[in-house]
Amino acid sequence: MPAGQWLGWHHHSGEEKVLEGVDNSGKVDLDDEAWVPTELMQEPSVLEVTQAKGSFCEIDVHFSVPLDPDGVYDILTDPNNHRVFKNIKEVTYRKVLENDGNRLLVELEQLGRWQFLVFSGSFSSRVIIEQNQREHSVFFDLARQGVMRKFSGSWKLEPLQGADSDSKPQATGTENSDVDKTSDPTMTGTWVHFHQVLEPALMPPWPLKGYLRRVTEKIIREMLGDLQRECLRLSDFKKLSLVKT
């Protein structure tokens, strides 16, 4: 899944071949030359990049998409979601550590790409991801500390009800976790919360701090743009399927 990777840590382990659930040995069809960074379809109601105490960069994003939480969760946790998130160049390692049918613990390494103005490059991130299907949540943290001292965050999904997609959804009464929320006729989509905290092991010199924060924000915006488009595509497909039946 896309952890909101950061420019910098570039690690490869040629001996590791574990790619559980990943097709094509982790490779994608999109060449660097064909990759075009994605623009946001709809600006998030909240997208903040701040410098909290004890961190280089803290990111908070809240926005809505026209797809139910189950559908969004499936996109985020799909071992092959590099087909959706085009800034994921390659999945180099994926291993399931625990699986109880609801909670899944995965170790994952992805090679990402970035582009800012005339500059571009690639970066690697190795994380432990905790996925909880019932709660529609994904948490991630560093699997190995290297260039980064902190690299943690979360995705949290809530059912969005009513016509106003720019306001926080009302409580939906989730006491019964087995209720199929997608059957609710008032459901219009999902309220997505993304949070990430980053801190390099060595703080970049003053002239580079602002530049690296802008690169980080751009990577996040491209990731969100890909997610928005995939949610819209799946939502339109479901509507078309309903019309045909």
List the CATH number of the domain containing 231.
3.30.530.20
- Vertex 161, ends 159 and 166: CA angle to 5°? 95
Closest by alpha carbon to 168, among 62, 47, 61?
62
Q: Is the pLDDT of residue 186 over 60?
A: no
CA pair distance 52, 143, nearest whole angstrom: 23
Closest CA to 62 of 42, 80, 47: 47
Per the domain annotation, does 72 fall within a domain?
yes
Q: How many Å apart are CA 216 and CA 59, to the nearest integer?
A: 9
pLDDT score of 180 more than 50: no
For residue 8, is it within any domain?
no
Q: Contact at 8 Å (CB) between 44 and 63?
A: yes
pLDDT at 76: 97
pLDDT confidence of residue 171:
37
Q: Angle at which helices 69-77 and 206-244 pack, to 10 degrees?
A: 130
**CB within 8 A of 53, min separation 6: which ones?**
none
What span, in angstroms and rounded, lies between the C-alpha atoms of 119 and 109? 23
* Maximum alpha-carbon separation in the chain: 60
The whole-number pLDDT of residue 3 equals 53
- Domain annotation covers residue 14: no
pLDDT of residue 1: 63
Within 13 Å and on the Cβ side, how many CA atoms surround 78? 17
Asked if residue 94 belongs to a domain, the reply is yes
Q: pLDDT band at residue 175, thresholds of 50, 70 and 90? A: very low
Which residues form the domain of 34? 23-161+188-244
For the chain, the domain total comes to 1
Q: How many CA atoms lie within 13 A of 163 on its CB side?
A: 0
pLDDT at position 21? 79
Amino acid at 173: G
Q: 144 pLDDT exceeds 50?
A: yes
Structure tokens at 222: 């491209």
Q: Which residue has the tokens 């339109």?
A: 236
Highest-confidence range of 14-23, 146-155, 166-175, by mean pLDDT? Answer: 146-155
* Whole-number pLDDT of residue 35: 55
Q: Are 49 and 59 in contact (CB under 8 A)?
A: yes
- 16 domain residue, yes or no: no
Task: Check residues 96 and 7 and name the one with the higher pLDDT.
Answer: 96
In a domain, 174, yes or no: no
pLDDT in the model for residue 20: 79
Give me the half-sphere count of Cα atoms (radius 13 Å) on the Cβ side of residue 227. Answer: 33
Handedness of CA 96, 124, 47, 140 (dihedral sign): positive
Residue 163's pLDDT is: 47
What is the model's pLDDT at position 134? 97
pLDDT-based confidence at residue 89 (cuts at 50, 70, 90): confident
Whether the predicted pLDDT of 177 surpasses 60: no
- Whether 59 is covered by a domain: the verdict is yes
Distance CA(34)–CA(210), nearest Å, equals 28
